[in-house]
Amino acid sequence: MALVPCQVLRVAILLSYCSILCNYKAIEMPSHKTYGGSWKFLTFIDLVIQAVFFGICVLTDLSSLLTRGNGNQEQERQLKKLISLRDWMLAVLAFPVGVFVVAVFWIIYAYDREMIYPKLLDNFIPGWLNHGMHTTVLPFILIEMRTSHHAYPSRNSGLAAICTFSVGYILWVCWVHHVTGMWVYPFLEHIGPGARIIFFGSTTILMNFLYLLGEVLNSYIWDTQRKPPSWQGMEINFVYTGPSS
């Protein structure tokens, strides 16, 4: 039996994301007042994705509790649709985008933080909030994947969806640059057009890889749990042969 029910964990994670979003939006930073506001940053978009996803998880848990044992087929159909939406959102958005944000942020940060998170931001964003945006996303989504099985969509439709999201965000970043003359992320100012195309293409490929990673990880976790240990089901016969002479 789990020490903490997964339903309680989901509520706690949802509340933490709500707190992070509220604290982030309360910060008065110059970038929040420019074109696109917070919505031009993938970190903020990811926080919204994670909050909406865990909100759907909590709603699914409540719906499952309310419809349990009542025999209402219509409510059961609606619950199945809600579960399908929850599973789709984890597969296509919550896992790949969340892991992408954590991995890419800390890799670039370790190389040169000024390229992704200038030291000036420390005057606005406290350390705990930075980790709430760029670190805890990963363990939270892994906890959800570990505690509940999620049915992935067909591979073609899933990859098409994550590609659409990736290309859409890249076009949005380019549009913000077209309007303001400034790139959303400082390191894009220091590379040429060819390098930007390579970078944008690489990020799209990485998003697709992370989608496949989530699919494999989900299958590994739950297929392993469903397989009985090798000794189960084996018939063991003990034959008494008498005392040895």
CB atoms under 10 Å from CB of 70, counted, come to: 9
* CA 245/CA 234 separation, integer angstroms: 31
Q: Answer for the pair 99, 206: CB distance below 8 angstroms, yes or no.
A: no
Every domain of the chain and the residues it spans: 6-27+36-224
Q: Could you tell me how far CA 128 lies from the centroid of its own chain?
A: 19
Helices (H) and strands (E) counted in the chain, each on its own, are: 8, 0
Please, which residues have CB within 8 angstroms of residue 196's CB and are 6 or more apart in sequence?
A: 188
Which segments in the chain show pLDDT lower than 50? 1, 3, 229-245
Give the CA distances from residue 198 to residues 63, 116, 163, 195, in Å, rounded to whole numbers and listed in that order: 45, 18, 16, 5
- Output the pLDDT for position 23: 92
- Output the pLDDT for position 195: 93
For 191, phi then psi, to 5°, come to -120, 155
- Output the pLDDT for position 32: 80
Of 49, 47, 41, 25, whose CA–CA distance to 172 is shortest? Answer: 41
- Output the pLDDT for position 116: 86
- For tokens 């998170």, what's the residue? 117
- Output the pLDDT for position 236: 38
- Output the pLDDT for position 226: 56
What 21-24 contacts at long range (C-beta under 8 Å, 24+ apart), as own/partner pairs, is 21/47, 21/48, 21/51, 23/129, 24/125, 24/129, 24/133
- Output the pLDDT for position 73: 77
- Output the pLDDT for position 231: 41
Q: Could you tell me how far CA 230 lies from the centroid of its own chain?
A: 34
235 by Cβ neighbours in 10 Å (0-12 / 13-18 / 19+) ranks as exposed
